[in-house]
């Protein structure tokens, strides 16, 4: 029972998350989301997100502690997302974490949001193989990460040069008249559609583009191609086959993501792929990744969907790893760094 009891706070975007982990065991993952308040704007509004975090922070903290049967005085450390993310949103979480750490006299660990998307898999599937290759796909990021040690050595092999994968899902959903956030709606609509009905472009996968951007992604050309295709259909007066467009678009994104992830594993001699971020909830991505990993002899780990989207458990999970691996805590002057690199 000497395992560290760590509370993690996540406020980088629109979810107020508070998770509590003992060692590598998740005790609770409490979350409050302001997503409904952003829906009518078709995207996250930073000012609205910051205010929502301020309102939700204490109730979410209390709920986490109550559900886990944990008293604040029992905590061994506090961890918090210190970047990257929306500046004002991050500040709410960082301020709350500092206050708790000072009041309780326990160490504070500022953690990277991208690294915690990777670390959360530890509370789901146990210790991360070292090295692991991580494909992180969310509304804000699309990155391929080489992870020799999630607590202090995470290297970016490539990332999106324009839209993030989730952003592309959200924009295409908008074109198809589906609600925000669009990912889950595209996923559902695609089940009724034909994924080879329309041949949409796979960005940065061939020729000079591939040479120069081997592990980078580009989804803005795809998004534009979908919008043009739908506009042409509307002009012709024929109905838009929403299922076919959704399935063909999704296939293009998932094809590129899995192809480059498997290639990155091969070229770096890594036998383990982990997928995280909100888009990892996508059913086609999970299926195609499994097929291609099986074919390549790579083991695949994907946390359950609730742990793929932003949450507090991921921050607590990484904080606990920091404690277990004896990493130095952060200073109490810890800043919120909206553009923090991995
Ligand atoms: O990780 P996350 O919750 O927040 C960010 O850090 O961005 O990811 C949210 C993104 C949104 O763009 C949402 O549309 C996408 O994840 N998403 C999905 C699915 N579920 C969520 N995209 C595709 N298929 C899904 N099933
Ligand atoms: Zn995220």
Same domain, 213 and 269: yes
At residue 240, the pLDDT reads 96
Does 117 appear as a known binding residue?
yes
- CATH number of the domain within which 169 lies: 3.30.420.40
Q: Between the CA atoms of 16, 250, 143 and 135, what dihedral angle is there, to the nearest 10 degrees?
A: 90
Same domain, 38 and 90: yes
Closest ligand to Cα 10:
2
Instruction: Indicate the average pLDDT of the chain.
Output: 96
Does 243 appear as a known binding residue?
no
Ligand 1 atom 13 nearest Cα: 183
ipTM for the assembly: 0.98
Same domain, 135 and 98: no
Same domain, 136 and 237: yes
Instruction: Kindly write down the DSSP assignment for every residue of 166-209, as one continuous string.
Output: HHHHHHHHHHTTPPSS-HHHHHHHHTTS-TTSS----TT-SHHH
Give phi and psi for 11, each to the nearest 5. -145, 35
Give phi and psi for 83, each to the nearest 5. 160, 170
- Model confidence over 161-216: pLDDT tens digits? 999 999 999 999 999 999 988 999 999 999 999 999 999 999 999 999 999 999 99
| 31 domain residue, yes or no | yes
Task: Give the contacts of 193 (CB within 8 A, at least 6 positions apart).
Answer: 241, 242, 243, 244, 245, 246, 247, 248
Number of helices followed by number of strands (H, E) in the chain = 13, 10
Task: Give the contacts of 268 (CB within 8 A, at least 6 positions apart).
Answer: 131, 133, 146, 157
- Model confidence over 23-51: pLDDT tens digits? 999 999 999 988 888 888 878 899 999 99
- For 218, which DSSP code? -
309 Cα: distance to centroid of ligand 2 (angstroms): 6
> Distance from CA of residue 195 to its chain's centroid?
25
At residue 156, the pLDDT reads 97
Residue with tokens 């792929």: 273
Pocket test for ligand 1, best of 176, 278, 307, 342 (most atoms within 8 A of CB): 278
Instruction: List the domain range (segments joined by +) for residue 64.
Output: 5-120+311-324
Number of domains forming the structure of the chain: 2
| 274 domain residue, yes or no | yes
Instruction: Kindly write down the DSSP assignment for every residue of 237-255, as one continuous string.
Output: TPPP-HHHHHHHHHHHHHH
Does 237 appear as a known binding residue?
no
At residue 38, the pLDDT reads 82
19 Cα: distance to centroid of ligand 2 (angstroms): 15
Same domain, 261 and 219: yes
How do beta strands 132-137 and 142-149 pair? antiparallel
Same domain, 317 and 300: no
138 Cα: distance to centroid of ligand 1 (angstroms): 5
Same domain, 112 and 164: no
Same domain, 148 and 38: no
Same domain, 112 and 149: no
At residue 39, the pLDDT reads 80
- Model confidence over 52-100: pLDDT tens digits? 999 999 999 999 999 999 999 999 999 999 999 999 999 999 999 999 9
Residue 1 predicted with pLDDT over 70 = no
Does 136 appear as a known binding residue?
yes
3-state secondary structure of 31: strand
């Amino acid at each position: 029972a000497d395992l560290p009891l760590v509370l993690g706070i996540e406020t980088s975007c629109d979810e107020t998350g508070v998770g509590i982990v003992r060692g590598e065991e998740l005790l609770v993952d409490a979350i409050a989301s302001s997503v409904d308040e952003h829906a009518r704007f078709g995207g996250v509004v930073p000012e609205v997100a910051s205010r929502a975090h301020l309102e939700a922070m204490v109730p979410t903290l209390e709920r986490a502690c109550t559900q886990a049967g944990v008293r604040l005085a029992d905590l061994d450390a506090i961890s918090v997302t210190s970047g990257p993310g929306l500046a004002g949103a991050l500040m709410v979480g960082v301020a709350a974490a500092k206050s708790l750490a000072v009041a309780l006299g326990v160490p504070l660990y500022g953690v990277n949001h991208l690294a915690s998307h990777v670390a959360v898999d530890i509370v789901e599937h146990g210790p991360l193989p070292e090295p692991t290759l991580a494909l992180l796909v969310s509304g804000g990021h699309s990155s391929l990460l080489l992870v020799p040690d999630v607590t202090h050595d995470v290297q970016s092999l490539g990332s999106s040069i324009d839209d993030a994968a989730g952003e592309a899902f959200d924009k295409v959903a908008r074109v198809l008249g589906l609600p925000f956030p669009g990912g889950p709606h595209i996923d559902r609509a695609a089940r009724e559609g034909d994924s080879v009905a329309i041949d949409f472009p796979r960005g940065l996968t061939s020729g000079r583009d591939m040479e120069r951007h081997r592990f980078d992604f580009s989804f803005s050309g795809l998004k534009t191609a979908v919008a043009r295709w739908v506009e042409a259909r509307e002009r012709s007066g024929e109905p838009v086959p929403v299922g076919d467009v959704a399935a063909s678009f999704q296939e293009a994104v998932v094809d590129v993501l899995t192809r480059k992830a498997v290639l990155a594993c091969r070229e770096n001699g890594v036998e383990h792929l982990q997928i995280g971020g909100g888009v990892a909830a996508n059913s086609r991505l999970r299926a195609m990744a499994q097929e291609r990993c099986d074919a390549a002899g790579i083991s695949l780990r994907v946390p359950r969907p609730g742990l793929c989207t932003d949450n507090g458990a991921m921050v607590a999970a990484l904080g606990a790893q920091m404690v277990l691996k004896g990493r130095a805590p952060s200073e109490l002057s810890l800043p919120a760094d909206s553009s923090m690199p991995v």
